[in-house]
């Protein structure tokens, strides 16, 4: 098999795995009947979280954080075991973010053509490539201390979050805006054609409703920065930031597949360095860094004299005029220790503030089935899958609602959307078990089983129309989905602003029946701040966060 054939196989592999990843994100969407037959469960037709479960970094970090490994994450061995023998094949052949960085970096431009020797030098190994290893040790140490922060920079979680909460909603908004703009001209044939193309892409890229996400700007800016930096530094993310790449680099130290150099036949053209994606110094006369190589095979394909060749058991010994290749990770032991200590210190630093438990934000409402907050933060990787699949656009990435430790983890914002009572999709798509996969019975309850509660509703009588203004309104009671209803009405005779006696039905809430779904807050006709609102108190996942403690001796500071 020629190098050209192998290189083409790598390109096909990149396209295939990127396509699968993107397709799974698209299918992380509500595509089933909202009102299934009696007793029916709403189940997604595809295992949409499986791509995230092939991630060995997430598997290791959750193992350190919880002492257990979620069963789905055992798929990560499919990536980890071959890496030990082949090297970082995942980065060059499979990783969707690595593929995207590769494509962006290889877009032709006049600026890159003029860069000449500067581009060659930028493709050599640099000291900043060590940073990804220190990032890895910081995150693993934090995980060992009980806080899973790896999802912030893990490439699969990062890309899934960016596509699901930024890219696809932006495409939807742009398509709607463009269609409306074209139709505004009133040109019949053009409007029909525009509607045809809109209807064509709708089943492929657009959800059944336009979604809007909280903190989308911060996620979008970070994603844009990663992509743009590839035009300055080839695969900047992969070389200097990616903690998964660092982990795979460590495991590939003793790979039996590597680069062999034939010094006598080399003409010193340095085309291998010019096209190198990993900045691992593939040229003859330089020390090849095996842990940095992503097996793009560009160097062998670009070599006009055949001086470079990837093979099993290559000769890595030093030869005349050619320094020995190295499998050693180029990092400082002192900085590794500092990084580890820094990661360990992050957790008590995060939790010394009042955002964790002591003065937790009352609006921090987690998805149904979420683990207790401490365990939730040990598992959530901020992939955004639960937000993407939510049919009512109720789940959003946090910013500071749960402090720095919980940034971009899911939160329910009832003013934007409420938790559909018959939906359990967020638990189905969670790749790490941070959100348990509830059955319909476990969520809504029955005569013997209590429902899963995510909070409790309260009435702001100073804003409620029947209470504050003597204006008839029963919207919250009508929208309440529990049976019997958690919101009940009492007819009272009150004096309105004109001094007249009127009868209005004033809403009251039974906290024993309320599940905190947020339907009442979502439907409340009072604009800006609703007259009925949801807080996390009463949630099933916490013993202390209750309206009234039923048992003596419960410390509110403990779960």
Q: What is d(CA 434, CA 440) in angstroms, rounded to the nearest whole number?
A: 18
**Across-strand partners of 287?**
none
Torsion of CA 412, 414, 420, 426, to 10 degrees: -10
> What's the CATH number for 453-558?
3.30.70.20
Contacts of 61 (CB under 8 A, 6+ apart): 139, 140, 143, 148, 150
Q: What is d(CA 319, CA 304) in angstroms, rounded to the nearest whole number?
A: 21
User: What is the full per-residue pLDDT of the chain (559 aa) written as tens digits?
Assistant: 577 888 889 999 999 999 999 999 988 887 654 444 545 677 887 788 888 989 999 999 999 999 888 777 888 899 999 999 999 999 999 999 999 999 998 887 665 565 667 778 888 888 899 999 999 999 999 999 989 999 999 999 999 999 999 999 999 888 888 888 888 877 788 888 888 888 888 777 777 778 888 888 999 999 999 999 988 888 899 999 999 999 999 998 888 898 888 888 888 888 899 888 888 889 888 888 889 999 988 898 889 998 888 988 886 566 655 666 676 787 888 999 999 999 999 888 887 766 666 567 888 999 999 999 989 999 999 999 999 999 999 999 998 888 888 899 999 999 999 999 989 999 999 999 999 999 888 898 887 888 999 999 999 999 999 999 999 999 999 999 998 999 999 999 988 888 888 999 999 999 999 999 999 999 999 988 999 999 999 999 988 888 875 544 444 444 4
Q: How far is CA 499 from the centre of its chain?
A: 56
Residue 248 and residue 301 in contact, taking contact as beta carbons nearer than 8 Å:
no
Residue 263 and residue 300 in contact, taking contact as beta carbons nearer than 8 Å:
no
CA distances from 98 to 9, 71, 94, 102, 163 (A): 16, 26, 8, 6, 15
Residue 388 and residue 28 in contact, taking contact as beta carbons nearer than 8 Å:
yes
Contacts of 404 (CB under 8 A, 6+ apart): 350, 353, 355
Contacts of 144 (CB under 8 A, 6+ apart): 64, 65, 343, 344
Q: What is d(CA 272, CA 308) in angstroms, rounded to the nearest whole number?
A: 9
CA distances from 437 to 39, 376, 377, 423 (A): 17, 14, 17, 11
Q: Does residue 535 sit in helix, strand or coil?
A: strand
SS3 per residue for 189-201? HHHHHHHHHHHHH
Residue 239 and residue 129 in contact, taking contact as beta carbons nearer than 8 Å:
yes
Residue 174 and residue 205 in contact, taking contact as beta carbons nearer than 8 Å:
no
Q: What is d(CA 139, CA 153) in angstroms, rounded to the nearest whole number?
A: 9
Among the listed residues 54, 392, 374, 57, the one whose alpha carbon sits nearest the alpha carbon of residue 213: 392
Residue 158 and residue 21 in contact, taking contact as beta carbons nearer than 8 Å:
no
- The model's pTM: 0.89
């Amino acid at each position: 098999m020629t190098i050209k054939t192998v290189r083409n196989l790598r390109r096909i592999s990149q396209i295939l795995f990127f396509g699968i990843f993107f397709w799974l994100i698209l299918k992380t969407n509500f595509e089933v009947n909202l009102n299934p037959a009696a007793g029916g469960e709403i189940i997604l037709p595809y295992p949409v979280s499986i791509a995230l479960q092939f991630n060995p970094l997430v598997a290791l970090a959750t193992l350190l954080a919880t002492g257990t490994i979620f069963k789905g994450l055992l798929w990560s061995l499919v990536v980890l075991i071959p890496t030990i023998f082949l090297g970082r094949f995942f980065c060059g052949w499979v990783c969707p973010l690595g593929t995207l960085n590769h494509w962006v970096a290889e877009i032709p431009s006049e600026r890159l053509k003029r860069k000449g020797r500067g581009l060659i030098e930028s493709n050599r190994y640099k000291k900043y490539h060590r940073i990804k290893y220190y990032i890895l040790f910081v995150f693993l140490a934090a995980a060992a201390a009980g806080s899973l922060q790896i999802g912030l920079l893990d490439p699969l979680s990062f890309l899934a979050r960016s596509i699901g909460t930024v890219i696809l909603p932006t495409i939807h908004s742009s398509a709607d805006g463009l269609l409306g703009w074209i139709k505004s001209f009133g040109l019949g044939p053009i409007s029909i054609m525009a509607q045809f193309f809109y209807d064509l892409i709708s089943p492929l890229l657009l959800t059944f409703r336009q979604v809007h996400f909280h903190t989308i700007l911060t996620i979008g800016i970070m994603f844009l920065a990663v992509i743009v930096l590839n035009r300055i530094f080839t695969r900047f993310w992969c070389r200097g930031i990616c903690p998964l790449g660092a982990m795979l680099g460590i495991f590939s130290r003793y790979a039996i597949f590597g680069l062999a150099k034939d010094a006598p036949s080399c003409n010193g053209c340095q085309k291998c360095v010019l096209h190198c994606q990993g900045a691992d110094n593939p040229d003859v006369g330089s020390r090849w860094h095996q842990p940095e190589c992503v097996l793009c095979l560009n160097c062998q394909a670009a070599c006009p004299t055949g001086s470079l060749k990837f093979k099993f058991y290559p000769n890595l010994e030093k030869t005349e005029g050619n320094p020995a290749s190295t499998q050693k990770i180029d990092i400082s032991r002192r900085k590794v220790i500092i990084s580890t200590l820094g990661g360990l210190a992050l957790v008590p630093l995060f939790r010394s503030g009042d955002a964790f438990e002591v003065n937790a934000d009352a609006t921090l409402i987690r998805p149904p089935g979420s683990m207790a907050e401490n365990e939730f933060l040990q598992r959530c990787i901020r992939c955004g899958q639960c937000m993407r699949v939510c049919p009512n656009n109720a789940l959003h990435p946090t910013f500071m609602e749960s402090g720095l430790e919980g940034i971009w983890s899911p939160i329910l914002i009832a003013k934007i959307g409420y938790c559909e009572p018959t939906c359990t999709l967020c638990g189905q798509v969670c790749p790490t078990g941070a959100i348990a996969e509830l059955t319909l019975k476990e969520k809504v309850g029955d005569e013997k089983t209590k429902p899963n509660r995510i909070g409790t509703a309260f009435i702001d009588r100073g804003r409620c129309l029947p209470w504050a203004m003597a204006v008839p309104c029963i919207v919250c009671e009508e929208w309440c989905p529990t049976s019997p209803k958690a919101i009940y009405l009492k007819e009272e005779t009150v004096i309105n602003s004109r001094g007249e006696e009127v009868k209005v039905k004033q809403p009251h809430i039974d906290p024993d029946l309320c599940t905190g779904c947020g339907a009442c807050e979502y439907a409340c006709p009072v604009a800006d701040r609703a007259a009925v609102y949801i807080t996390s108190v009463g949630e099933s996942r916490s013993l202390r966060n209750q309206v009234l403690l039923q048992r003596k001796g419960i410390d509110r500071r403990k779960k």
